[in-house]
């Protein structure tokens, strides 16, 4: 276990105003990833409640969620399963639509990505309004996965994303 503190990780997260559109303050995690000690420390925090073998699959959400979910899967001796934006997965998929502030988006999973009853950790970099992760939860549940917890490096609490994940334990490492 590393001795990295959440304060150190928070300090490394870069706030980029008005990206990708005016009024949004983008939380840029690339400085955390680029620092070997901080990246490892962040992964220790994401996986700290679990021992290798206690999780069957870590499901990561397109695209930054893949980075943390893949690293968590290796630490926990679990498989990695992607939830992708529509049109990217090559085999048969289940899809789930969700609302954005303007319009909607669709995420997809391969129909055979999880064994029924699989113990799943859902991982993404950031919980904002919760629309994306709620759609991912629906897909995992459709495949028969049992979500142990949804873990986020960052949670924007003021957007109340947790409310969309009712019934799922939610944990975040850094909150704003
Ligand atoms: P949401 O569906 O609103 O919870 O949005 C979550 C997704 O959008 C996550 O996968 C994030 O990567 C991305 N996202 C939303 N807001 C931000 C933000 N302020 N900074 C960085 N990424 C964001």
Distance 126 CA to ligand 1 centre (A): 5
Does the pTM of the predicted model rise above 0.75? yes
Q: For the chain, what are the domain ranges? A: 52-175
The CATH number corresponding to 52-175 among 1.10.1470.10, 3.40.50.300, 3.40.50.2020, 3.30.70.100 equals 3.40.50.2020
Enzyme catalytic residues: 64, 101
Does the C-beta of 62 come closer than 6 Å to ligand 1?
no
| Closest ligand 1 atom to 98 CA | 2
pLDDT per position as a tens digit, 42-85: 999 999 999 999 999 999 999 999 999 999 999 999 999 999 99
Distance 165 CA to ligand 1 centre (A): 15
pLDDT per position as a tens digit, 96-143: 999 987 889 999 999 999 999 999 999 999 999 999 999 999 999 999
- H, E, C per residue of the chain: CCCCCHHHHHHHCEEEECCCCCCCEEEECHHHHHCHHHHHHHHHHHHCCCCCCCCCEEEEECCHHHHHHHHHHHHCCCEEEEEEECCCCCCCEEEEEEECCCCEEEEEEECCCCCCCCEEEEEEEEECCCHHHHHHHHHHHHCCCEEEEEEEEEECHHHCHHHHHCCCCEEEEEEC
């Amino acid at each position: 276990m590393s001795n990295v503190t959440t304060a150190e990780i928070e300090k490394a997260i870069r706030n980029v105003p008005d990206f990708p559109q005016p009024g949004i303050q983008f939380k840029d995690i690339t400085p955390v990833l680029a620092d070997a000690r901080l990246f490892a420390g962040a992964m220790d925090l994401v996986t700290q409640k679990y021992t290798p073998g206690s999780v069957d699959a870590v499901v990561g959400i397109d695209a930054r969620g893949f980075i943390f979910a893949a690293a968590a899967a290796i630490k926990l001796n679990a498989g990695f399963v992607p939830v992708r934006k529509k049109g990217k997965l090559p085999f048969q998929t289940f899809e789930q639509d969700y609302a954005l502030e303007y319009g909607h988006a669709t995420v997809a999973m391969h129909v055979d990505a999880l064994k029924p009853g699989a113990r799943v950790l859902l991982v993404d970099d950031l919980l904002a309004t919760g629309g994306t992760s709620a759609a991912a939860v629906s897909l995992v549940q459709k495949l028969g996965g049992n979500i142990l917890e949804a873990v986020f490096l960052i949670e924007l609490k003021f957007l109340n994303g947790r409310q969309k994940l009712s019934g799922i334990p939610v944990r975040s490492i850094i909150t704003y």
